Structure 1
Amino acid sequence: MLPLLLACSLSLPAGTATLLPDTSGVSVTARPGKVWLEERAGQRLNFDLAVRNRSRDTLRLTSIEVSVYDGSNALVLRKFVDNNGFSPAINALSHHEVLPGGTVLVFNPFHTFADDIEPARLQYVFHFQTPKRAEKEARLDVRPVRYQPQTALTLPLSGRLLVWDGHDENAHHRRLDFLHPVAQQVGIRANFMRYAHDFVVVTDAGELHRGDGKKNTDYPGFDRPVHAPAAGRVVAAYAAQPDNDNGEDHFNPADMVGKDPLLLYGNYVVIDHGHGEYSLLGHLRQNSVAVKVGDAVRADQVVARVGSSGSSYFPHLHYELRTGKEMNVEGLPAYFRNFQLLRGRRQRTVASGAVDSGDFLLQTRKGE
């Protein structure tokens, strides 16, 4: 049986994705709808693929193929992941089965491109099989846009830092399945932390803590000043959540639904920088927030101190650039300025660049 085609290539505005009307009961959409291209160790795409099954059959995903076209619409790259082999690569995807009436989130498996590739348009082809081995096919066109930040950001902590968890393809920030039933239950509808970072102050030897690490005071970063990464106005803040410490966990996900969804971050500050860019600083120490809603803040101003409140296992600073102050907004790529990237005994100054999981950094400020 020949596959049923759902879409063809269309002329689209940059940064968008589209598909033709669903005619076979299965469709694929890009989440978010606007796709950014981030410059980070090459060129990175950070978006998800929502697969919706309107048919009466359970659909098994057998392959995904992407064709990459440049600005002149010339084909420059074609890649695929399928169910061939003793340990098929398709099993590494977040989902490869869609129940009747269900929608699942597939993390984009084609996320990194070399600098000499121009990914102006990407055409995705999804192949499915029914229990009776009938074949179905869905197509999606995506036109990424290279993100141009409007705000000059500085790392919000000083000293020797480790990006404990960033937004690479294995990071928990990246792999947020917002269509999961538990996520839906607590009100999560989008990946607001898509480009987030967990910053940890470390010792000169790169260690996270002294002693056994059970107490917050074992961590050199605990109670360190948290700086505004850029000027702006405070649009949200919370300071009353106790810090998790010495095995005691005060985080209650139910509070997110009934009280404030941003309590995922415990104590937090959200700063509006203008131009649709907001900084969220989370897991702050209880009662350390030194600003209130409506305050204008200057770049590098101390706004709070590092804690371990909310969904936090140890003292660190959660940072994300985002499109708004609410919970279900989208993340944005963050490019920081004038820091040192440490590579063992070597280090270099980065005038402007992205950081990610595992990077050691050095940020200096006068007086710290």
Structure 2
Amino acid sequence: MFALLLSLTLASAPAAFTATPDTTGVTVTTAPGKVWLEERSGQRLNFDLLVRNRSRDTLSLSKVEVSVYDRSGALVLRKFVDNNGFSPSVNGLSHRQFNPGTAALVFNPFHSFADDVEVGRMAYVFHFQTPKRAEKEARVEVWPERYKPLAALALPLTGRQLVWDGHDENAHHRRLDFLHPVAQQVGIRSNFMRYGHDFAVVTPTGELHTGNGKKNTDYPGFNQPVHAPAAGRVVAAYAAQPDNDNGQDYFSPRDMVGKDPLLLYGNYLVIDHGRGEFSLLGHLKQNSLTVKVGDEVRADQVLARVGSSGSSYFPHLHYELRTGKEMNVEGLPAYFRNFQLVRGSRTRSVASGAVDSGDIVLQKRK
């Protein structure tokens, strides 16, 4: 979707995370503060670890260790990444060097657990070294909460679709470093697209486009109807941005700063489903919106058409469930109902479930 940036609590827990008091000049907290467990091919976690170096030393991260405890407090498993070996696992972290007086995000490396792992409390230990080889540590404890969806969501497009990019650990939605200087310059302060999806209608054989793919009309998804994923009220909308097409890119990050931060998505709609859940639908076709701010919409209602506006490489629909209508909110796990999951020559019906990068799904409508 997105070329701009360089391309949990249990009922008994007092808070979603607890950081150890700062005694070494370095602290670790979670972003966001509330950490969700998503049911998706096991259990998935999608949060960042925010490292703040208040010391006078440049710190090198040498090891991150996590201990997972069940609700009774018993240890379930312990895992780590470190600097051992010729190609050490710690090199896979998003940041390893922390200059004095700076902060940076480390994307959580322990994000996937089997269904039989009861994730109650997670205790992280970060190990750092100074230039003089002195050791420092920072600790943080996390209590993930299993997300319980409220709105009965349906996939907003019809037909066979590829989740071109979702929110797994390699997806660009997941890897939005909101502390990056460019992100800060355009006003990004959180990962609102943490659970985002890019849906692209594909041919029966799974191809994104016909021809050479340079024109929007080469894509079977272009101009396809976009349906309301659930009932609600339109609380934000924009429809005037031209669609990028045939090498012409109309997206300007400067407009985000001076006009509307959500122009990242080009033409867009935000629907308030109530109880803290909002749907954002982006990259819509210019002037295709059939609703306006204040309108009540019913589930499955046609709202707009698929376009390629905003920060978009090709015609597709960006969808995310989120906590508000503004830019700097947080993403939420989305569970869609009554679709079919295509696995090659086999297809199975899903009553309710999450989808992610690479999945091929089929949504039928009457």
TM-score grouping bracket, smaller chain normalisation? over 0.9
Residue 183 of structure 2 aligns with an amino acid whose one-letter code is A
1:364 aligned residue: 364
Paired position in structure 1 for 2:270: 270
Q: 1:30 to 1:277 in 2, by over 3 A?
A: same
Tell me, yes or no, if structure 1 residue 63 matches structure 2 residue 58: no
Q: CA, structure 1 residues 148+312, in 2 after alignment: closer, same or farther (shift >3 Å)?
A: same
CA distance in 1, matches of 2:241, 2:364: 29
2:167 matched to which residue of 1?
167
TM (norm. structure 1) is 0.96
Unaligned runs of 5+ in 2: 1-10
Q: Helix, strand or coil for the counterpart of 1:273?
A: strand
Which SS does the other structure have where 2:274 is aligned? coil
Partner of 1:321 in structure 2?
A: 321
Deviations 1:160-214 (A, max 9, x none): 0000000000000000000111100010000000000000000000000000000
Q: Does 1:50 align with 2:79?
A: no
Q: Which residue of 2 aligns with 1:35?
A: 35
Contact 1:14 1:143 in 2 (8 A): no
Regions of 4+ moved over 3 Å: none
CA distance in structure 1 between the aligned counterparts of 2:61 and 2:320, rounded to whole angstroms: 33
Paired with 2:345 and 2:271, the residues of 1 have a C-alpha distance of 36
Which residue of structure 2 aligns with residue 341 of structure 1? Answer: 341
Measured at CA, do residues 305 and 253 of structure 1 come closer, stay the same or move farther in structure 2, by a change above 3 Å?
same
Corresponding residue for residue 205 of structure 1:
205
> Number of matched residues?
356
In 2, the alpha carbon distance for the partners of 1:113 and 1:15 equals: 22
What are structure 1's unaligned runs of at least 5 residues? 1-10
Residue pairs, 1:43-122, within 5 angstroms: 43-122=43-122
Contact 1:12–1:143 (8 Å) recurs in 2: no
Residue in 1 aligned with 2:4? Answer: none
Instruction: Report the counterpart of residue 3 of structure 1 in structure 2.
Output: none
Sequence identity (%): 79
Distance 1:215 1:14, change over 3 A: farther
Mapped to 2, the partners of 1:115 and 1:48 lie a distance apart of 22
Aligned match of 2:191: 191
Equivalent residue number for residue 306 of structure 1:
306
- Distance in 2, matches of 1:19 and 1:93, equals 20
2:158 equivalent in structure 1: 158
Could you tell me how far apart the structure 1 residues matched to 2:59 and 2:244 are? Answer: 43
Question: Aligned letter for 1:350?
Answer: V
Q: Which residue of 1 aligns with 2:231?
A: 231
TM-score by length of 2: 0.96
Contact 1:28 1:49 survives alignment (8 Å):
yes
Structure 2 match to 1:220: 220
* One-letter code aligned to 1:144: P
**What displacement does 1:236 show?**
0.2
RMSD: 0.9
* SS of residue in 1 equivalent to 2:91: helix
Instruction: Quote how far apart the aligned CAs of 1:21 are.
Output: 2.2
| CA distance in structure 2 between the partners assigned to 1:266 and 1:156 by the alignment | 18
